[in-house]
Structure 1
Amino acid sequence: MASLFFTFLSLLFTSLLLIVLISQKNKKTGAKSLNLPPGPPGWPIVGNLLQYARTGKSFIHYIRDLHPIYGPIFTLRMGSRTLIIVTSAQLAHDALISQGQAFANRPAENPTRSIFSCNKFTVNSSELGPVWRSLRRNMVSNMLNSTRIREFQPLRHLALDRLVHRLRSESESNPDGSVWVLKNVRFAVFTILLSMCFGVQMDEKDIITIDRVMKRVLIALTPRLDDFLPLLSPLFAKQRKEAMQTREEQIRVLVPFIHRRKSELKDPANGKKTVSFSYLDTLFDLQIDGRKSSPSDIELVTLCSEFLNGGTDTTATAIEWAIVHLIEDPGLQEKLYKDIVTVTGERNVEEKDVEKMAYLNAFVKELLRKHPPTYFLLTHAAVEPGAKLGGYDVPNDANVEFYLPSISEDPKLWTNPERFDPERFLSGGEEADITGVTEVKMMPFGVGRRICPGLNMGTLHITLMIARMVQEFEWFACPPSRRTIDKSEKLEFTVVMKTPLQSTIKPRNRGQTAKI
């Protein structure tokens, strides 16, 4: 322990010396000072890190407290990183739509994240340029267009049938009829995405193994103190080693499925494909602008992992929050059920049905307004020096963060924004373009050049799963006598309930209620 302490002191002294030398150099060269947005004053080296740590709050709640003080755009210095926090719809539209090209980059990655992204070889992490254009064009054009998404309809309906069966079995095995919502929904979504991604048969053991590895990856990517204070990196050698071991396990688990799919494509008689087409198929011979070779096995692992992680927790989290609102407002649940069975009658809901369900679609839009999957978009960065936003300078090495609740809960944009009210999109006459093209009032999937390529698929999965779950079951608190639900939040890649939702379900009598 003593040796670690002296190592820290040594690194601290070195950093202070460097700061002094750089400061003197800037004075001699007359380096221009930047007009950054206002923000809380910080300490040398650590910036605002200590102030944040003292609050004991999660970062999403820390920003919620600062927003009323510093306004629509402010600066935080978190160790070696400068964060520009944007909290207004007007500035978000300016940055991501009006100046979309200028703010479409990604900042430098920490070393741990680079291990898992193959040095930014993913759609979400790559810098604006030929790699990003090639990867995104492939994902959107060859995998996530409306025609391709429809091809996977049988997979989704099979997964929904299994979800209903899992929920019914779990409820029957528990004396109080309870089920864990997030766990079951997450498994169903993950199963769909695995089949879409790899296109090969997997048993439940394979699915659980891959899911476990992907959860470890997300944990390894959680920001650490040395991400903000690199001088402390010697103190986190153990964590870096564990991250490397997780990466090795990720590669070891996923590569065999990549090879299996490649083998089945070459010789269909060699195995039985789950689907005739998969995301992986688009990647084997993908030509990246500026590169001579197609992606390596390790790069394929990275791209497949992005596909899985990007669509699993975001969808599952939204559905858990949906069930919370259905439990708290039985009248809302009844309206939603009537909307569903008016279209479907006694048969199971199908994908072609959901676009006819006005209340269901209003419910999902309100869900995404109140509970975007994360409270921050993926971090943006200015492409070139000299960028400006709201009259302030934005250095191209700064992290530009967009805080969503201050926009989707802005009383200047919404009537009674604190209320969960799907009616606002019906008789209330309110509207919002979630792509942000016409205006920004909510952006659960981002807007502009870096908008989430899985927007349509994610919305479909959320809408269809809610419809089927409400069609099959009535949802109650656990125990049913409970009057309130703890809606405290925490950040785990997505914004989840601090206490996972356990619900009591009651199968509906489909034959009778279909006559409504």
Structure 2
Amino acid sequence: MGFVEMTQNWRLWLQEGSNVSVYGTVLFVMFTTSCILHVLSAIERRKKLPPGPWPWPFIGNLGVVLRKTGARHKFLQALGAKYGGLMYLGLGQIPCLVVSSVAVVESMFKSHDATFSDRPQTYFRKVQYGDSAMRSLSSAGYGSYWRQVRRMCNTELFSPGTHASQEGVRREEIQNMLDVLVHECKRRKPIDLGDWLFGVSTNNMTRMLINKRYYGTGAEIPEKKEEFQGMVKSRTRAAGTFVISDFIPSLTFIAKLQGLPKRFRESHESAKAQMESVLDVEEHRKNAIARASVDIKSEYSPDFVDVLLKAPLDDGQPLADSDIKFLLTDLMIAGTETTGITVEWAMVELMLRPELRKQAQEEIDAVVGADPERFVQESDIQKLPFLVAILKETFRVHPVAPLNVMRSSYEPCEFAGYYLPAQTRLIVNQYAIHRDPSVYENPDKFEPRRFMENPEVNPLSGRDSYQLIPFGVGRRMCPASNLAFTMALLMLANLLHTFDWSFPDGVTADNFDVSEEFLGTVLRKKTPTILMAKPRSHVQ
């Protein structure tokens, strides 16, 4: 290569380098300008939204929320204290509101209850049910089908008349399991209180659903207690799993890499197998036809399956068998664990405060007396205001579901001067609301007297009393709230009336483990509550 040719090549290379440099500069300017415009646009959009932590590009505030998966209710409470009772989070591509004060939850649900009564379709439900995921009461979207099923629950399953007709069932199941507890006491065997409460709640639900007993004396269903308890815990944990593709759909592959589809399907198959062995809808249908063909009046008491088989939808057609199973499975799982957890926490608080336990027993004794055949009955409850206050305070301090099942808006709306697009998710932080310092003095302290001084606070309302909402609020609140409240009071009252309680050897109030664990959707006690029970002098 000659000198002239070499010189020309160097000149061309320098020109190309200069062009590359120009192109790089242009690209850098374009990228920087794009970022600046994105930030300015985000700032402008944020002016129309409630305050909240600044979102990252693409993932929004997902990184903030995912940091505290085990205590998300407390983390959101702390964020709410910083940004206010109405806080905005950008969860990936999904806008989300977090409500954490009494004033905001009251204002929102008095004006926008219907708007935020929809349910988002989640990856958990899609994997397990496919298109049927929106046919259960808890997951159905806000529309005609959900309204019909909800009305059916209100008028057929949990109406005042049905509630009254089931009083004998509740009494029998509590007495039956008290007999089991008395037998255990005679052996001086430590009592796993949570396990006993789970058995009572399960029996009550199966008696109402299918008129059969699941645990204890006279059980009519093959007992698979550990399997059933494991299935309930697995379901609640899976239902509350934070799946990133629920907020960034393009990242579904991450859920697959985590093995979530397999875990969700296994949870579903376990629940399906156990519930189908309990809820035989076709058998109920055949028995109903057989009873109808008999001329003499039957003394058979219809259970919930019988009721649902006769209850038509608006078009006159009955519920499909699959829909009946979805509905009853929802009720079975929700009703067996949550009530027992509440009573367990109440007993834990009373064990730490013997003076409150003694006061509660004295109140019960004054009403019920020392008749060895006398149990605390539902007619006694209105005469036990201190016991009611204890349960209300337990609901406040230990909400079983500290974060409500996520809601979604089905249309855009304006609230508190902010524009909220359709499909905005809504989280009601019951844990924070129950500790609102503007409503509750010493909010972290267990003090039943606060409800003795304010007996009008009604946890069953959901529309008029917003400072205590353990069963949710508005149209989506738990339809079985009255049943759960009654059962919790009866179990707690009879435990206190029938037994004196103490810690096992080596355990005191100072070293008694009261740590909590947030798994999925439920806040439960982390370790079993093991206590010693001694029948009181009036108990045979």
Following TM superposition, by how much is the alpha carbon of 1:375 offset from its aligned partner in structure 2, in angstroms?
Answer: 1.1
Q: Does 1:147 align with 2:151?
A: no
Q: Which residue does 2:438 correspond to in 1?
A: 412
Q: Which residue does 1:9 correspond to in 2?
A: none
Note the aligned Cα RMSD (angstroms). 3.1
1:225 to 243, 247, 264: 243
Report sequence identity in percent: 24
In 2 relative to 1, CA 104–54 (structure 1 residues): closer, same or farther, beyond 3 Å? closer
Taking the aligned partners of 2:197 and 2:522, their CA distance within structure 1 comes to 15
Q: Which residue identity does 1:397 align to in structure 2? A: Q
Taking the aligned partners of 2:309 and 2:69, their CA distance within structure 1 comes to 47
Task: Kindly indicate whether the alpha-carbon contact (under 8 Å) linking 2:169 and 2:204 is maintained by their aligned counterparts in 1.
Answer: yes
Taking the aligned partners of 2:81 and 2:59, their CA distance within structure 1 comes to 24
Point out the structure with max Rg over C-alpha: 2
Q: Does 1:106 align with 2:134?
A: no
Following TM superposition, by how much is the alpha carbon of 1:275 offset from its aligned partner in structure 2, in angstroms?
Answer: 6.4
Q: Which residue identity does 2:252 align to in structure 1? A: S
In 2 relative to 1, CA 444–150 (structure 1 residues): closer, same or farther, beyond 3 Å? same
Q: Which residue identity does 1:233 align to in structure 2? A: T
Following TM superposition, by how much is the alpha carbon of 1:322 offset from its aligned partner in structure 2, in angstroms?
Answer: 0.4
Q: Deviations over 1:433-452 (max 9, x none)?
A: 33144442111112222222
Taking the aligned partners of 2:379 and 2:140, their CA distance within structure 1 comes to 35
Taking the aligned partners of 1:185 and 1:37, their CA distance within structure 2 comes to 42
Q: Which structure 2 residues correspond to residues 91-240 of structure 1 after superposition, within 5 A?
A: 91-112=104-125, 115-116=128-129, 118-173=132-187, 177-200=189-212, 203-206=220-223, 208=225, 210-226=228-244, 227-237=246-256, 238-240=259-261
State which drifts further: 438-447 or 273-282.
273-282
Q: Which residue identity does 1:496 align to in structure 2? A: R
In 2 relative to 1, CA 424–151 (structure 1 residues): closer, same or farther, beyond 3 Å? same
Q: Which residue does 1:6 correspond to in 2?
A: none
Following TM superposition, by how much is the alpha carbon of 1:298 offset from its aligned partner in structure 2, in angstroms?
Answer: 2.3
Question: How many correspondences in the alignment?
Answer: 481
Task: Kindly indicate whether the alpha-carbon contact (under 8 Å) linking 1:381 and 1:398 is maintained by their aligned counterparts in 2.
Answer: yes
Q: Which residue does 1:267 correspond to in 2?
A: 290
Gaps of 5+ in 2: 1-30, 215-219
Q: Does 1:295 align with 2:323?
A: no
2:345 to 304, 321, 324: 321
Taking the aligned partners of 2:527 and 2:375, their CA distance within structure 1 comes to 31
Following TM superposition, by how much is the alpha carbon of 1:74 offset from its aligned partner in structure 2, in angstroms?
Answer: 1.2
Q: Please state whether the residue corresponding to 1:475 is helix, strand or coil.
A: strand
Q: Please state whether the residue corresponding to 1:486 is helix, strand or coil.
A: coil
Taking the aligned partners of 1:448 and 1:105, their CA distance within structure 2 comes to 12
In 2 relative to 1, CA 135–204 (structure 1 residues): closer, same or farther, beyond 3 Å? same
Q: Does 1:510 align with 2:538?
A: yes
In 2 relative to 1, CA 51–299 (structure 1 residues): closer, same or farther, beyond 3 Å? same
In 2 relative to 1, CA 102–161 (structure 1 residues): closer, same or farther, beyond 3 Å? same
Q: Which residue identity does 2:197 align to in structure 1? A: V
Q: Which residue does 2:503 correspond to in 1?
A: 477
State which drifts further: 86-95 or 55-64.
55-64
In 2 relative to 1, CA 59–511 (structure 1 residues): closer, same or farther, beyond 3 Å? closer
Q: Does 1:456 align with 2:469?
A: no
Q: Please state whether the residue corresponding to 2:401 is helix, strand or coil.
A: coil
Task: Kindly indicate whether the alpha-carbon contact (under 8 Å) linking 1:200 and 1:260 is maintained by their aligned counterparts in 2.
Answer: no
TM-score (ref. length: structure 2): 0.81
Taking the aligned partners of 1:374 and 1:72, their CA distance within structure 2 comes to 19
Q: Does 1:371 align with 2:389?
A: no
Taking the aligned partners of 2:207 and 2:58, their CA distance within structure 1 comes to 47
Gaps of 5+ in 1: 1-19
Q: Which residue does 1:255 correspond to in 2?
A: 276
In 2 relative to 1, CA 465–296 (structure 1 residues): closer, same or farther, beyond 3 Å? same
Q: Which residue identity does 1:277 align to in structure 2? A: P
Q: Does 1:51 align with 2:76?
A: no
Task: Kindly indicate whether the alpha-carbon contact (under 8 Å) linking 1:107 and 1:398 is maintained by their aligned counterparts in 2.
Answer: no
Taking the aligned partners of 2:499 and 2:213, their CA distance within structure 1 comes to 30
Taking the aligned partners of 1:222 and 1:439, their CA distance within structure 2 comes to 27
Q: Which residue does 2:5 correspond to in 1?
A: none
Taking the aligned partners of 1:341 and 1:276, their CA distance within structure 2 comes to 34
Following TM superposition, by how much is the alpha carbon of 1:496 offset from its aligned partner in structure 2, in angstroms?
Answer: 0.7
Task: Kindly indicate whether the alpha-carbon contact (under 8 Å) linking 2:190 and 2:533 is maintained by their aligned counterparts in 1.
Answer: yes
State which drifts further: 356-365 or 185-194.
356-365
In 2 relative to 1, CA 322–51 (structure 1 residues): closer, same or farther, beyond 3 Å? same
